[in-house]
Chains A and B, each alone.
Chain A
Amino acid sequence: MSALVLDGVQTRIGRYSVLHDVSFTVPEGGVFVLLGRNGAGKTTTLRSIMGLWQPEAGSVKFGATELRGMHTSAIARLGIAFVPEDMGIFRGLTVAENMVLATESGRFDQKRLDWIYDLFPALKKFWHSAAGGLSGGQKQMLAVARAIIEPRKLILIDEPTKGLAPAIVDAMAEAFREISERTTILLVEQNFEFARSLGRDMAVIEDGRIVHRGSMDAFAEDRELQTRLLSLSV
């Protein structure tokens, strides 16, 4: 079973064609990693799935549902969460208020909340402070926490580890592993270590096109491929 199928997605932003032909299949469960250099089109891909850019051609299938053409909020209500590159924190709201908005009912499941507190202790400490005052890493934690505060079917995450201290990165890897047992995660990452430790399947995007698809293990083995696609060996 596949959770998400992109087929021939083309997206333009303003006058510029950014995605030319993006096709890949995210299997259900586990972490799927999308890799690529700066400006390759990773963020644009996630935004196209989320309906924040409307692809002009191709299809985005979530299970049996065609996402292309749907409104972002409707896509979200299918059980898809999104952690944007810029974190999308509501700076004027408190941490608690940020989190409340990410729940469906307006109430927290205490067990899950405790789990998040445990994962990101800083959030507990600053629960009632304005989110704008958080440190860069704490904001990143909040962004991730919002995505996992309720069970979802699919989580799209854009570079969650940037700016996080090593200890937190480890903790987050653990958490993602746990979540991915029930939830599909589509992860965009520059931190190859982190991506490799989590990813089951992967794709590489280059200049708006998918140039490689395969399993993470195979890719991790193939140094030559890494060098060619990501300049990794440097």
Chain B
Amino acid sequence: MPDPLMYALDAVAYAGIFGMLSLSLNLEYGYTNLANFGKVAFFMVGAYVAAVMARMKYPFAVYALVASLVAGFIGLLTSLPALRLREDFLAITMIALGEVMKLIVKNEEWLAGGVWGLSGIPPAVVVQGLSFRERLLVQIALIYGCLVACYVVCELIAKSPYGRVLKTIREDELLAAAYGKNVFRYKACTFALGSAVSGLAGALFAQYIGTVSPYMFEPTVTFSVWMMVILGGPANNTGAVLGAFLVEGFHRSSRLLKDYIGLPLDPINLQVMLTALLVITVVFYRPQGMLKERITPLDRGLLKKLKPMYRRVKTWVRS
């Protein structure tokens, strides 16, 4: 029976997963000015590692950890040759990496099913006797748990001296180096962290969809993530998540819309064309995105807000 709420919730779950990708790109691009045009590669690595391990009946916590570690490690390894150079070199290398990684999983059947892909990946949390809605809600809880964790990590980083260094590197590498920051190490570290977060998103994605195949990881995924960050607002974590919601909502609504508006265009074509136009428009007229980067001193960060709240909760619990 029709249940549009499920479709909406499904979109919410997707937005959560892509929100994590968007956060990780925000960390790389928004804070550090690293042009990672190969996001999809790390997403794919995470998904595949999770798929392989989940089929071997490892628990979610283990394979999610391994997935992010492997993705982070590959990210680190491949970015090393390009990180010392200008950002366009990283961009080109990463685009190429995305294509090559796809080639590898496609051709090495022993590794991950090759062109067949892998299916039958069990969901992370299995509770017997739940309805579809309840199961979806469990998934959403899991995904949003991870999203919140990533958000907190990103916020903590942004509001720390580490984040300050990243911003310095973003604005002026020479300045950062002249003031004692090992630019290369910071970049590599951030790239690895961003890739690890993407890997975690990939793990969530694999267990949510239940299948992985090389055809899921096309370069357009990367472009959507870029779209999310640029639309939402680089160097603003809330903006990055918001961007994920907007883009996912945009994709879904264009699929729904085409049933009621008799457009002579293919919906997927239209979707891509509009997305591309929107990106160009945003880059042109509002490069800072919908939510601007906030210029606040470090000491007015998240923790200052959280601490009283935490205290209040503590006293409430004790009383």
Task: Decide if A and B are genuine partners.
Answer: no
Interface residue ranges, B against A (CB under 8 Å): none
